[in-house]
Amino acid sequence: MAKVNVKDLSRDELARFLVSMGEPAYRADQIWDWLYRKYVNSFADMSNLPRELRDRLAEQAFISWPTLGKREEGATGDTTKYLFVLSDGEAVETVLMRYRSWNALCLSTQVGCAMACGFCASTLGGKIRNLSPAEMLDQVLYVQAECQRKGDLPVTRVVLMGTGEPLDNYDNVRKFLHILHDPDGLNISYRRVTISTCGLVPGIIALTREGIPVNLAVSLHAPDDNLRDQLMPINRRYPLAQLLPACREYGEATGRRVTFEYTLIAGINDSLEHARRLSRLLAGFNCHVNIIPLNPVRERDFKPPAPEAVARFCAFLKKRGITVTQRRELGREITAACGQLRRGKGWGEKNWE
């Protein structure tokens, strides 16, 4: 029988697993503390468990821990990119972003991505597979343990904006979120977690129904269906007439303001006419627009607009009453910025040159 990765189990599932071994359910709380507070990766290190139980656990289960393929530091010290090699040889990228009073982690939810957005590196090579809850948790745990060793600020915010579409891996992401949120474990509040989606409407509806109050960031990138169809093929399945009501309902149900991410691409979606259409589209919507000047991807022909064009676009939206900010640029020099993360295997050597 295949061994169980205990990080793929919720706390209740872990308790049931231990009861099936003839152990009391409270052992789950002890193991949980070792996994998510002390960051151990061996049952042998769980000193408050009987030795016989530790031996049996090692026979029937295992604790995953990521293999670091490479680490790269940004020039200004505010960004670190990690290449984590998975058990099957695939690899994903994760980014630690340092702010004045907190650290945030951008993590991946899939190996590759099936959404085929035309300006994003994550879609190169397509989707290979989903990440398990454990593989997502391991990204957080590795970086959290490293921050602790180095005396750095802990990770207190998590953004699901690495490779993959989180809502295309809904069940695993949901379990990951519940474990991440557990107050006796990593204890990262839902309200400090952001899920970025290209617009998978069924996933947004599912989040709404389950009442998971994370921050929702929707990759919009165009003010109308015609342009969005070209940039983001998912729009042909879920056009704006379906996407915007789902976002509005999510905001109303959770009390969270929805963020619309808008990557500005020179000559494509950055004119004042595009800004005018966008302001009309979002009029009366309790939302926030996050403007992202395009981060170049070498396989794509798109270019970022001039700074003046970015400023004009933002100023126009503000005059129309739209809450807008320009995203802080982090990690572009190590291809760790928005839209630059990618599948590791088959791309990693080139990407880490």
124 to each of 113, 161, 300, 320, how far by Cα in Å?
8, 16, 10, 37
Name beta bridge partners: 5.
Answer: 62
* H runs (alpha helix) in 37-132: 51-60
Exposure on the CB side of residue 30, measured as CA atoms within 13 A: 15
Max Cα distance, the chain (Å): 70
N- to C-terminal Cα separation, the chain: 42
Is the Cβ–Cβ distance between 107 and 136 less than 8 Å? yes
Where are any strands of DSSP class E within the chain?
4-5, 61-62, 67-73, 79-85, 91-98, 103-106, 110-112, 127-130, 155-160, 193-197, 215-219, 258-264, 287-293, 324-326
Task: Please state, in angstroms and rounded to a whole number, the distance separating the CA atoms of residues 42 and 8.
Answer: 15
The residue written with tokens 């972003």 in the block is 97
Alpha-carbon distances, residue 289 vs 60, 129, 273, 344 (angstroms): 49, 31, 16, 30
Residue 160, strand partner residues: 195
Q: Which residues are catalytic?
A: 93, 338
Asked if residue 93 lies in contact with residue 82, where contact means CB atoms within 8 angstroms, the answer is: yes
Strands 215-219 and 258-264: parallel
**Spatial CB neighbours of 316, under 8 Å, sequence gap ≥ 6:** 272, 275, 276, 279
Contact in structure between 186 and 35 (CB atoms under 8 Å): no
